[in-house]
Amino acid sequence: MIQNLRARARRIASRGYRRLGQWGDRVFGVELDPGPTPVRFTAPPWEPLPDPASTDARVVCNICRWTGDGFEGGQHCELSQCPGCGSNGRDRFLHWSFTQRTPLHPALRIIECSPRLGAEYRAAMATWFFYRTSDYDLRAHQGNLQLDLQAIDLPDASLDVMLCAHVLEHVPDTDKALAELRRVIAPGGHLILQVPVLQSRTAPPTQPEFHADHTPVFWRFGFDLTAQLRNHGFQAELLCTEELHHAVVAGTNPWGTGAAEFDVPGMLAGAVAADLVVVADRGQTDRLGLQPGYMYLTWDCAVPRG
């Protein structure tokens, strides 16, 4: 099956490279088989997760397929770590959102902005897709490409998927970045966008703020980002867990004040139920270690066809 998909990808790619010309060589190269998939990443993303009935493991990593009794570090999007690949909860939710919302095939042209996971993960993604990585200054993340999201040096409609996690808050001009992202994603493509949502409405930090790699934070985003994405021509939906969706619709708060950095009451008051789409039910949430629900939000920004 996989061999047939890869053969099909080669046929599609050969046509695509003729269309893309020099840019195709520069960005995606001509190497279609970067070698065997690293041991930790043996199953491509289009294969379903193990049937819960076939294993005694309580949790599974949807990125590397590690199974076990539980993730390390406790229930927090940044701390709930997979012993197999090092993914944390937000990594797993990003990839769950990507695989649930994007038709997967080996010819997908994907760029991931400043990926948190390391070389083995990137090699596996490059085995499964036409995959490259980018970073603004190649300082904190060693990407293949140096790209400024405010002025992306790529042709129009040249990507099928942009995976962009915890990057947009570091970009000074959000509107310029969204306009550029809309331009480079092909009709039918997707921007899978994840930012820290810590409050109800978008605002700049009240005092200087830096993330662990010393990158300044320009924006603390809220639920109004959905409308901003739609204003730039995306068909934007905010993906969440069933736990969060139920709390918003029912008007309940099972978490109280929550973790210190999150304004949970404000978030629940500001969330727009009509914008939320459940991509992980309670069983999937438990298996993937996606608790508490208010920490797991990702936008699927589709580019309309035609």
DSSP the chain: -HHHHHHHHHHHHHHHHHHHTHHHHHHH-S----SSPPTT--S-TTSPPPPGGG---SEE-TTT--EES--BT-S-TTT-B-TTT---HHHHHHHHHHHHHS---TT-EEEEES-SS-HHHHHHHHHHSEEEEEESSSSSS--SEE-BTTB--S-TT-EEEEEEES-GGG-S-HHHHHHHHHHHEEEEEEEEEE--B-SSS-B--SS--B-TTSPBP--BB-TTHHHHHHHTT-EEEEEEEHHHHHHHHHT--TTTT-STT--HHHHHHH--GGGEEEEE-HHHHHHHT--SGGG--EEEEEPPP-
Q: Is the pTM of this model over 0.95?
A: no
Provide the pLDDT for residue 211.
73
Domain boundaries, the chain: 2-302
Phi-psi region of 114 (alpha: psi -120 to 50; beta: other; left: phi over 0): left
Q: What pLDDT does residue 31 have? A: 43
Does residue 296 contact residue 248 with C-beta atoms inside 8 Å? no
Tens of pLDDT along the chain (306 residues) come to: 444 544 444 444 333 333 333 344 444 544 444 556 677 898 999 999 988 777 788 999 999 999 999 999 999 999 999 999 999 999 999 999 999 999 999 999 999 999 999 999 999 999 999 999 998 776 666 678 989 999 999 999 999 999 999 999 999 999 999 999 999 999 999 999 999 999 999 999 988 878 766 789 999 999 999 999 999 999 999 999 999 999 999 999 999 999 999 999 999 999 999 999 999 999 999 999 999 999 999 999 999 997
Rg of the chain in Å (alpha carbons):
19
Query: Is residue 206 left, alpha or beta, with left meaning phi > 0 and alpha meaning psi from -120 to 50?
Result: alpha
**What's the rounded Cα separation, in Å, for the pair 293 and 130?**
32
pLDDT for position 140: 61
Q: Are 206 and 263 in contact (CB under 8 A)?
A: no
Q: Output b/e per residue, 144-157; b: 16+ Cβ within 10 A.
A: bbebebbebebeee
Give residue 70's pLDDT: 94
The CATH code of domain 2-302 reads: 3.40.50.150
* pLDDT for position 50: 86
